[in-house]
Structures are given as structure tokens and as C-alpha cells.
């Protein structure tokens, strides 16, 4: 994906290690290039256009059925080719759908990274899906119950602002530090089994 260099990934890993030294909680950072391929969108739009093309030709021309069929096939192919590139696909999908897909990917990562299995339920996922421009913090029940409502969203807003300013590494490190601070307040070292999950940045490339 190329969003982070090796040295930047190393800095993020160090930030996770540093934050976890002050807490028995667990922090996992995941960045996904996309949460869905959205391949259905080009085919959907191409199909809609192809279905509409015959009607004006039938009503206002004397074209034979074979010509109209060829025009329909050509329209489908042209629209499909124009909408297949990833940036166009992302643009075609409504923001709400992209947000739902990114949220679902975040929840999948929370489970697949075993954050739900930590002692004391103190796992926290910091998740970014780049294509959807979506950031999310998912905290397990142990820490969620102790952090004031809106805290995670405030951190997310600062993280997305940093990403918008192309300060990806600094944004991640700052978010990790803030999350670590909340974990340290409520779960100091020794209160639970510590550092059983990976400290490095997990990068999920596009499929």
C-alpha cells in the first residue's frame, strides 16, 4: 500500500510498546487500504445504463433490434470500463455504505486480532480504512465501561485530521499515546496479564 515506510512502521510499533509499558491493557493498530472492493458498483451502474439505452432508440429511431442490442452491449462495456478503476468505484458508493463496510471491517479485526480475549477485557483497536477515509477505536467492555462517553470519538477526530493533513505517522502515534493514557489510568501495570498481542502496525493491503 505504501502509506507507511518501514521506519514509520517501526516508530508506530515503538509507540505501542511505550504505551503498553504503562498499562496492563492491550493496543492493536490496524490500517486497511480498503474495507471492500465495491466491485458490485461498476456492474450495477453499467447494468442500469444498459437497460435504459434501448428505450430512446426504440421510441425515436428505426434501428433494427440487432443494432439496438449492440448499442446496449456497447453501453454496458463502456460504462463498466469507465467505472472499474478503484477511485471511481469508491466515488460511486454512498458515504453511508462505505462507513458501514469500514465499521464491519473494524469489528472483524477486533475479533481476528483476539482483542476480545484479553484478561480483564482491556483490549483497544485503533483502526483506519484509507479508501473510506474512516477511523474507528473499538474498546472491549472492561475499558469501555470506564472511559467517558465521547472520548474515543475525540481521539478519532484528531486522528482523521492528521491523516487529512498527510501526517499519518504522527497521527497514529498521538492516538496511541492518548489511548495508552486512558488504559494506564484504569489498568496500571500488573492488574492483568500484559503484552500478549502484537505491538507492530498491522497493514491490510487491498485484495
Q: pLDDT by residue (tens digit) across 184-204?
A: 998 888 655 555 677 789 999
Q: pLDDT by residue (tens digit) across 70-117?
A: 999 999 999 999 999 999 999 999 999 999 999 999 999 999 988 888
What CATH number labels 6-36+95-204? 3.10.310.50
For the chain, percent of residues with pLDDT exceeding 70:
95
CA pseudo-torsion sign 31, 37, 41, 42: positive
Q: What does the mean pLDDT of the chain come to?
A: 90
Locus of grid cell 458515504: 95
> Can you give the pLDDT at residue 177?
95
Q: Phi-psi category of 120—alpha, beta or left, where left has phi over 0 and alpha has psi -120 to 50?
A: left
133 DSSP 8-state letter: T
Write out the residue limits of the CATH 3.10.310.50 domain(s) in the chain: 6-36+95-204
- CA angle 178/184/190 to nearest 5° reads 150
The reply to whether the predicted model has a pTM over 0.95 is no
Amino acid at each position: 500500500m505504501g502509506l507507511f515506510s518501514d521506519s514509520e512502521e517501526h516508530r508506530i510499533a515503538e509507540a505501542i510498546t511505550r504505551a503498553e509499558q504503562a498499562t496492563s491493557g492491550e493496543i492493536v493498530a490496524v490500517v486497511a487500504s480498503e474495507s471492500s472492493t465495491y466491485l458490485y458498483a461498476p456492474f450495477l451502474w453499467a447494468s442500469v445504463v444498459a437497460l435504459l439505452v434501448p428505450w430512446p432508440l426504440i421510441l425515436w429511431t428505426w434501428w433494427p433490434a440487432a443494432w439496438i442490442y449492440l448499442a446496449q452491449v456497447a453501453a454496458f462495456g463502456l460504462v463498466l470500463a469507465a467505472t472499474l478503476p478503484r477511485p471511481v468505484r469508491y466515488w460511486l458508493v454512498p458515504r453511508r455504505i462505505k462507513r458501514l463496510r469500514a465499521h464491519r471491517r473494524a469489528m472483524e479485526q477486533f475479533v481476528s486480532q483476539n482483542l476480545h480475549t484479553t484478561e480483564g477485557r482491556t483490549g483497544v483497536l485503533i483502526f483506519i480504512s484509507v479508501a473510506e477515509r474512516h477511523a474507528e477505536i473499538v474498546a472491549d467492555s472492561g475499558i469501555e465501561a470506564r472511559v467517558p462517553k465521547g472520548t474515543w470519538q475525540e481521539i478519532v477526530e484528531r486522528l482523521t485530521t492528521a491523516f487529512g493533513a498527510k501526517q499519518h505517522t504522527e497521527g497514529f502515534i498521538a492516538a496511541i499515546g492518548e489511548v495508552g493514557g486512558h488504559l494506564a489510568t484504569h489498568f496500571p501495570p500488573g492488574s492483568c496479564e500484559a503484552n500478549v498481542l502484537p505491538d507492530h502496525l498491522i497493514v491490510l493491503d487491498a485484495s
